Amino acid sequence: MIKLTMPDGSVREYEKGIKAIDVAKSISEGLARVILAASYNDKTIDLQQELTEDGTIKFLKFEDEEGKHAFWHTSSHILAQAIKRIWPAAKLAIGPSIANGFYYDIDLDYRIVEEDLPKIEEEMKKIVKEELVLEKFELPRAEALKFVEEKGEIYKAELINDLPEDAIISFYKQGDFVDLCAGPHLESTKKPKAVKLLTIAGAYWRGNEKNKMLQRIYGITFEKAKELEEYINMLEEAKKRDHRKLGKELGLFFMSEEGPGFPFFLPKGTEIKNELIKFWREIHKEAGYVEVETPIILNRHLWETSGHWYHYKENMYTTIIDEEDFAIKPMNCPGGMLVYKNSPHSYKDLPLRVGELGRVHRHELSGALHGLMRVRTFTQDDAHIFMMLEQIKDEIKNVANLIDRVYKTFGFNYSVELSTRPEDFLGEIEDWNMAENALKEALVELGLDFKINEGDGAFYGPKIDFKIRDCIGREWQCGTIQLDYQLPQRFELEYVGADGGKHRPIMIHRVALGSIERFFGVLIEQYAGAFPTWIAPVQVKILPISDKFNDYASIVKKQLEEMGIKVELDDRSEKIGYKIREAQLDKVPYMFVVGEKEAESGNVSVRERGKGDIGSMSIADISSIIINKIKSRENDSPMA
């Protein structure tokens, strides 16, 4: 017999060798119908896997990340089987699940085009209707290699050749189709009924541009047509909100072939970026941070000390100055270590919270560049907190509260993930255990729900990641808190303790926005360009009905500017309807229409974004409303 611990803490006994699906059935037939996979001793498994030892078990549904993985991984196999049915000569490379769906890379002389996708979808739907059972089997490496070579699957053979000689290789069979795969998968092809193939792209085998270019087909599947329809609608909404499109239309930023991956910010974009920085500085000053600035270029010795020269050099831009190697910083941390070392510290100085809006450069592959979301230079809103062991938990809580304040200001919901010690870690296990416990306790005391990512921490310490969810349901990785014992040791940081002796501080790396540029891009899409009044690059646009009211409009403009309101005057000789439509396209929060009646009364006719005409108001009254929104940082975007 084996004992299985359920998610609620209860323990049940079963015959050794029972399948995961049968455990689910013993609980509820209804549960067994909706689950996709299981987590057994923290490892995701097929429902047909036999359980042979005591442990914990959790059943996974589509709302679980691991459940989606099994669902979409199986869908990628269905796609591959459909392709092989239509084009038997196709050679298969890899077909993983991804954050939103799946893809498969194939080598085929025939060039697949958009018009072919419906034909592939229909074949996939046939496979779904056939309800083919997925059967796992294993072969020794030599037999596995012979098996794929006989089928002409040269890419699978290459993958197997990279595995150890004594490796046992797993395959999955569904009907007449077999694929090399570690799993896990659904029990059969029955569930992915709603199918949509999205795009076709080129992809170098193994991401190496020296290898052959393959054809990559992206897809998405759901069990119900309604879920697919909702997803397609979300994609259409995402297209409307694309920050690259809106950035160009609203005159915020542009990218140039003279600097791929290096964004140019235009006046309006710079206004928004500066407002973000102003907000950042304000909340950090309130939270007891000091701000520093470190050089962009530092010598090789520094990067060797930090470990970046050996572990990150391929992503760094390097140069030679006075016959010595230098690097443009890819991150701010090593410079922050020198700031700490510049002066002696006592335990009375700690915790020392040091922030930096540092410009960093990283060599991203050209194919990975994507507007402001993935660039080669960005401003990282870094902070390094130096502290004593007993201060860890309180500082983690302080940072989490600051990040919470930031995200709530912009109307974001978020999820929290705790990543623990990886296999290739530095330092002592005791330090890691202590650090992980401190992070867990801080999150529990804050009442934050969090997911644990076992083994996904940085090599120098565990971390907490904050993933924000925008108004159409997409997740973005922005904030992070990383505990680090290693850099203080590498740089021999010290403080004098209450006992008069020298001690090593512990350090937190953390970002709230992550990257100012990336966060800016997320905000463009969150608000569809209709920024809240406080951050809008133009808060009021004044629209005179005709040229003879331009003088009064100029007086109003000056009054608003003196109150600190960002204002533009549209004094073009155009009809008022045209001016209003232009201002609407610019997504300006307020329009002041002025004509004869307004000039005589000293008022303005106000149009508010999302509401239209709200009537005639005195300049003092409407200005007071706008200024209050700016000061309170009210999230009044109609699109959020």
What tokens does 478 get?
């922005």
Residue 435, pLDDT score: 84
Classify the C-alpha dihedral 484-487-489-493 as positive or negative: negative
For residue 327, what pLDDT band results from cuts at 50, 70 and 90? very high
Instruction: Report whether 174 contacts 81 (CB < 8 A).
Output: yes
d(C-alpha 242, C-alpha 522), whole Å: 9
Given this model, what pLDDT does residue 194 score? 97
Q: Is residue 220 over pLDDT 80?
A: yes
Q: Three-state DSSP class for 122?
A: helix
- pLDDT, residue 588, reads 97
Span 86-112, pLDDT tens digits: 999 999 999 999 988 999 999 999 999
Rounded mean pLDDT, 270-288: 96
Residue 609 has pLDDT above 80, yes or no: yes
Q: What number of CA atoms fall less than 13 Å from residue 574's CA on the CB side?
A: 13
Establish how many alpha carbons lie within 13 A of residue 468's alpha carbon, considering only the half-sphere containing its beta carbon. Answer: 25
Contact, 593 vs 581, CB < 8 A? no
pLDDT over 90 (residue 477): no
Q: 9, exposed or middle or buried, with CB in 10 Å at 0-12, 13-18, 19+? A: exposed
Which segments of 447-494 does DSSP mark as H helices, in order? 486-490
Query: Token pair 């530095």 is at which residue?
Result: 426
Give every CB contact of residue 471 below 8 A, 6+ residues apart in sequence: 411, 526, 639, 640
The predicted model gives 55-64 an average pLDDT of 93
Picking from 211, 217, 167, the residue whose alpha carbon sits closest to that of residue 197 is 217
Please state the pTM of the whole predicted model.
0.82
Q: What pLDDT does residue 36 have? A: 95
pLDDT, one tens digit per residue, over 543-593 is 999 999 999 999 999 999 999 999 999 999 999 999 999 999 999 999 999
Could you report the per-residue pLDDT of 225-243, keeping only the tens digit for each?
999 999 999 899 889 999 9
For residue 148, the surrounding DSSP H or E stretch is helix 141-150
pLDDT value, residue 367: 77
Q: Does 458 have pLDDT greater than 80?
A: no
Q: What is the pLDDT of residues 408-456, one digit of tens each?
A: 999 998 999 999 888 877 777 888 888 888 889 999 999 998 888 888 8
Residues marked active site are found at 333, 362, 380, 382, 384, 463, 509
CA neighbor of 476 nearest in space, from 530, 385, 410: 410
Contacts of 64 (CB under 8 A, 6+ apart): none
pLDDT band of 368, cuts 50, 70, 90: confident
- What average pLDDT does range 477-491 have in this prediction? 88
**Reported confidence tier of residue 189, pLDDT bands at 50, 70, 90:** very high
Nearest to 626 by CA among 550, 570, 542: 542
For strands 590-594 and 603-608, give the pairing. antiparallel
On the CB side of 239, CA atoms within 13 Å amount to 5
